[in-house]
């Protein structure tokens, strides 16, 4: 079952393995160096990054890292965007199977979805994902995603 949280509820996250969709808001356009992808121009808008948490600490550890405001070592593409964008909330599902490819493809198929940066978060993807980052016009509602992900991903 897909669940939604905001930063004030991080302590209730399970340390189980699972997948997540992180919602970020970028108020102003920004150019950011994103690892080997180089300089990327991000227009203002809503961004949704799809990832998985199968390492030590599971969802609690990974999502707490994404919600933290303090500086951290950049490890993933999302760390570079996270440095200039605000995290608004996230959806997650506890699962022993990664759902990030199905979810990113489902998000990309929604009306008005845009792939802002090809291969963002998916340079090692073997499922044909164009990106694990999808953007929408400003003020896209995170609350509509659980149903959309379930329906479009065929679950």
Q: Are 24 and 82 a contacting pair, CB within 8 Å? A: yes
CA of residue 89 relative to chain centroid, distance: 10
Eight-state DSSP code of residue 79: H
Q: Are 134 and 47 a contacting pair, CB within 8 Å? A: yes
Domain ranges of the chain: 3-152
As beta bridge partners, residue 51 has 20
Give pLDDT tens digits along the chain (155 positions). Answer: 777 666 566 667 889 999 999 989 999 999 999 988 899 999 998 999 999 999 999 999 998 888 886 767 887 888 899 999 998 888 899 999 989 999 999 899 888 899 999 999 887 778 888 999 999 876 676 677 787 777 755 55
- pTM across the whole model: 0.88
Q: Are 40 and 133 a contacting pair, CB within 8 Å? A: no
């Amino acid at each position: 079952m897909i669940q939604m949280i905001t930063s004030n509820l991080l302590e209730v996250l399970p340390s189980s393995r699972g997948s997540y969709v992180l919602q970020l808001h970028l108020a102003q356009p920004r150019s950011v160096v994103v690892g080997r992808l180089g300089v990327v121009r991000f227009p203002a808008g809503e961004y949704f990054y799809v990832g998985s948490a199968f390492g030590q600490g599971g969802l609690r550890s990974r999502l707490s890292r994404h919600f933290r405001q303090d500086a951290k070592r950049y490890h993933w593409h999302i760390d570079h965007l996270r440095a200039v964008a605000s995290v608004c909330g996230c959806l997650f599902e506890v699962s022993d199977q990664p759902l990030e490819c199905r979810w990113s493809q489902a998000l990309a198929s929604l009306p008005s979805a845009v792939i802002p940066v090809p291969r963002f978060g998916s340079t090692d993807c073997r499922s044909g994902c164009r990106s694990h980052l999808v953007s929408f016009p400003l003020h896209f509602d995170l609350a509509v995603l659980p149903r959309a992900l379930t329906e479009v991903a065929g679950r």
